[in-house]
Amino acid sequence: MSVEVTRLPSGLAVVTDDMPHLQTAALGCWIGSGSRDELPDEHGISHLLEHMAFKGTKRRTARQIAEEIETVGGDINAATSVETTAYYARVLKADVPLALDVIADILSNPTFDPAELEREKNVIVQEIGAVEDTPDDLIFDFLQAQAFPEQPVGRPIMGTPETVRSFKDRNLRTYLERNYRGPDMVVVATGAVDHAAVVAEVERRFGGFNGPKAPTPQAARFGGGARLEARDLEQVHIAVALEGLPQRHPDLYSLQVYSAVLGGGMSSRLFQEVREKRGLCYAIYCYHAPYTDTGVFSLYSGTDAADADELMRVVVGEMAAAANDLNEAEVARAKAQMKAGLLMALESCNARAQQLASQMLAYGRPIPLHEIIAKVDAVTVESARAAGRGLIGRGRPAIAALGPGKGLDAAASIFDGLATRAA
């Protein structure tokens, strides 16, 4: 295995994967802190911090941060999720030290200039407005809030216009100091990289991230119930969530296979039955997202209001049927898709960096490919069926529907009998 790991005295891990056939490198710093780590008066601050990191440091202006990377043909970006925040770049082999320096600089020395802060808060308010105008995005904010009510894990990652506008530079510094600490951080570099050289750069540039692990966030509690909002739209957008499994659960791969069979691609049951055979929608899919202490299975479709009832009845029937009669061919196909995805990630330094970072934050170590494939191969027809039955029977689903008012209540109520259908 070409993966090497060094853990610095601060607890920060450095992981590299040398891919000799490449002349470029993907690298970044991943922090095990996201929107669920926010306190009640910090809603949206993790996302604002991600934005403000690029708005100037003690050594660079916002323009210089962008220009230094793009002048050498690279790109730099960041992303905030429920449990992680990532700052990453893609550059040529010779520019790895520059990219590490820039990323370390924006995390270690942000100025949080008041004028820049006011401008960026307005940018994020515009971003929130864009989601409000995009129903197939907004529906997932509604769904997450219904699945995890009155909890950080259930709040929209971007916050609200009111919370975003309330933040001052001191709020950003407090959050940064509390959550960006060595034991919760990993620097990953893949592609045309040398492990010893990367470690030396990280030791020199990331030395300020000391201290113990950040506080453990509030435990997630799955809620359920329905949120229905009538809007003047062409379609009804419907999303359903069920409580899933956490990252380390032994049945995780069986549930992932069930999810893939049900709605993971064009050959899935939902796509074939709902779209291909009945023509009830253009888009329908489902997926399972594991978190540290829980997971969420989500399903989405958009359809004409007149077809919403039929669509939901078919979806409920297919979910229950798959939990009882999915077959060997379907399981084999889902497992092949999962293994192909793992192997394809090895051909992209960007995908490989993300894969390694996720493994380090979830398990504390890189997971060898053969170990993951063995877990995928261990999934059987019966274990996938059992995972589906467990999913359906775990508790009350969360439902979000957005669109023409006619039929929203009826479409949502159809899910009341889901657990009975799968019993």
Catalytic residues: 50
Whole-Å CA distances, 330 to 90, 335, 404: 37, 9, 36
Closest CA relative to residue 83, chosen from 118, 44, 37: 37
Interatomic CA distance for residues 225 and 245, integer angstroms: 19
Interatomic CA distance for residues 384 and 332, integer angstroms: 11
Closest CA relative to residue 47, chosen from 145, 155, 142: 155
Interatomic CA distance for residues 167 and 182, integer angstroms: 25
Residue with tokens 């601060």: 10
- Strand 13-18 relative to strand 185-191: parallel, antiparallel, unpaired? parallel
Closest CA relative to residue 355, chosen from 184, 190, 193, 179: 190
Closest CA relative to residue 143, chosen from 421, 351, 400, 401: 400
265 alpha carbon, distance to own chain's centre:
19
322 alpha carbon, distance to own chain's centre:
26
E strands, 68-207, are 75-80, 85-92, 185-191
Whole-Å CA distances, 365 to 59, 361, 362: 34, 8, 8
Q: With left for phi above 0 and alpha for psi between -120 and 50, is residue 392 left, alpha or beta?
A: alpha
Q: Please, what is the Cα angle at 381 between 378 and 385, to 5 degrees?
A: 115
Tokens of 417: 């009998």
